Amino acid sequence: MEEAAKREVLEETNLTIHEMNFFKIYSGEQQHHIYPNGFH
């Protein structure tokens, strides 16, 4: 999970993360939302 987060930050911001501390990871069906405009 950490490598994916680092890779995503690099792709989106061109910043390199050297140290990362997760404090909570949210996943699962209860975290999936569809907004009124149809976006996920």
Whether residue 26 is predicted with pLDDT greater than 90 in this model: the reply is no
Report pLDDT for 13.
97
Q: What is the largest CA-CA distance in the chain?
A: 37
Report pLDDT for 29.
83
Whether residue 12 is predicted with pLDDT greater than 90 in this model: the reply is yes
The answer to whether the pTM exceeds 0.85 is no
| Cβ contacts of 40 within 8 Å, gap of 6 or more | 32, 33, 34
Whether residue 16 is predicted with pLDDT greater than 90 in this model: the reply is yes
